Amino acid sequence: MRQHLAWLLAAAAALAAAPTAPTTRPTDCPRLHGSWYGDNRARLQQVIDARGTCSGHTQAVAAFDWDNTVTRNDVTDATLSWALRHDRLPRPARWKDTSAWLTDAADRALTSACGTGAGTSLPTSARPRCTDEIVEIRENGTTMSGAPAFAGRWNHRRTVPQYAWVSPLFAGRTPADLASYARAARREALAAPVGATRALGTHTVPAYVRYYDQQRALIDTLRRAGFRVYVVSAGVEPVTEVWSRAVGVDAAHTLAIRPVLDRRGRITARTEGCGGVPGGRGAVIPYIDGKRCWIDEQVYGVRGARAWRRQPRERRPALAAGDADTDVTFVGDATGAHLVINRNKPELMCRAYDDADGRWLVNPMFLAPLPRRPAPYPCSTTAYTAPDGTRGPLRRADGSVLPDRPDTVY
């Protein structure tokens, strides 16, 4: 009898300590609308229902890459295009100052085509050779003659020189200047017809950008369900902020390459660091593992070298979305859904099709989707990029090699 009474008292105490059920049912959560591939919308709704404030949860995080994830086409490239056509790039005193890895061949090519001399603007609208060299280096990391534009050592999972190079091209301007260029480029790109292109020197580049309606709806639904929504991009922060405002994501929730400013508030050739790596000349940017670092540090307050490591579940986004290998780490960190826009990028698509935890959602591009990749993704051989830049097989958490995967969602 005494044992039975003790059991009843213990059970009553456990019931009293149990959390009360939320008064709002998941069916009352904001509903996601729009056209999605397969059952992706329903599966995204499950995450919204389970992790939003309507189920009694608070502070769930959703994180989105920007270019070609929320928009079709790259908004930093659109801004650079506008600046080149309107002579808004300042001429550097030395081209070598714009990157720690710029080769002598690139320095000679840029000096010959563009000149030097701080204090003036580059007349790129009238110098197609100069525009060509800048665009070729930005797009392909080579000069117009085919010589490598960057050389040396860098961690290939923390930076890529041609991405880090864009912010220093605006050294001497202010963030407000750069934002004004981005606003002008945004008006132009949104007005251009879908599919429009333009010439930059001898290059043909996209002339239009569009917000994906489905992603705008997803971000809006997440915000109404109480999620903290962040953008994490390898673009330049003052540019990305101009575009992210239109989907309700403010500057405080927009993480991208952030230039270090001088005492007069002007952009320098340096960018801010992360994870115990101080600001410098682009050694760490929000790129592959860098995107995890920026989320860990700026969203969850994780400091020092720990910000490079995968965090416990409570310090990881519930939902993360991306389209390229630069997104694979933070998208893989998500605990509720890994949303992948298929642009045929091997490391990301191998992870998505392997679907190790059953939470990977693959969606074709919402506008002008790519055709099916004809050959399987080389998951077992070259899909992984190591810190030293070598290519190798992708491995699961248990060490096993991922088999090659066919492209099935396109």
Burial of 42 (0-12, 13-18, 19+ CB in 10 A): exposed
Report the pLDDT value the prediction gives residue 57, as an integer from 0 to 100. 84
Instruction: Look at residue 260 and tell me whether its pLDDT is greater than 90.
Output: yes
Report the pLDDT value the prediction gives residue 10, as an integer from 0 to 100. 41
Residues 287-308 have pLDDT tens digits of 999 999 999 999 999 999 999 9
Return the number of other C-beta atoms located less than 10 Å from residue 266's C-beta.
16
What DSSP designation does 98 have?
Answer: G
The domains of the chain are located at 28-73+211-269+313-392, 75-206
What DSSP designation does 86 have?
Answer: T
The rounded mean pLDDT for the chain is 94
Give me the percent of the chain exceeding a pLDDT of 90.
90
* Whether domain 28-73+211-269+313-392 has CATH 3.40.50.1000: yes
Residues 65-99 have pLDDT tens digits of 999 999 999 999 999 999 999 999 999 999 999 99
Q: Cα separation of 166 and 349, whole Å?
A: 27
CB 192 within 8 A of CB 207: yes
**pLDDT mean over 220-229:** 97
154 versus 21: the higher-pLDDT residue is 154
Structure tokens at 18: 């149990």
Q: Which of 221, 265, 282, 276 is nearest to 247 (CA)?
A: 221
User: What is the band of 27 on the pLDDT scale with cuts at 50, 70, 90?
Assistant: low
Report the pLDDT value the prediction gives residue 185, as an integer from 0 to 100. 98
Report the pLDDT value the prediction gives residue 11, as an integer from 0 to 100. 41
**pLDDT mean over 23-44:** 86
Q: To which residue do tokens 């580059």 refer?
A: 122
Instruction: Look at residue 381 and tell me whether its pLDDT is greater than 60.
Output: yes
Instruction: Look at residue 3 and tell me whether its pLDDT is greater than 80.
Output: no
Instruction: Look at residue 56 and tell me whether its pLDDT is greater than 70.
Output: yes
**pLDDT mean over 199-222:** 98
Q: Which long-range contacts does 242-249 make (Cβ < 8 Å, 24+ apart)?
A: 242/75, 242/179, 242/182, 242/183, 242/186, 243/66, 243/71, 243/75, 243/182, 243/186, 244/66, 244/70, 246/211, 247/70, 247/211, 247/215, 247/216, 247/219, 247/220, 248/219, 248/220, 248/223, 249/219
Report the pLDDT value the prediction gives residue 19, as an integer from 0 to 100. 34
101 versus 22: the higher-pLDDT residue is 101
Structure tokens at 372: 């099916």
CB 338 within 8 A of CB 320: yes
Instruction: Look at residue 42 and tell me whether its pLDDT is greater than 80.
Output: yes
Q: Cα separation of 125 and 144, whole Å?
A: 18
**pLDDT mean over 139-145:** 98
Q: Which of 341, 275, 337 is nearest to 303 (CA)?
A: 275
CB 229 within 8 A of CB 223: yes
Instruction: Look at residue 25 and tell me whether its pLDDT is greater than 90.
Output: no
CB 284 within 8 A of CB 293: yes
Report the pLDDT value the prediction gives residue 26, as an integer from 0 to 100. 59
Instruction: Look at residue 330 and tell me whether its pLDDT is greater than 90.
Output: yes
Structure tokens at 100: 């720690």
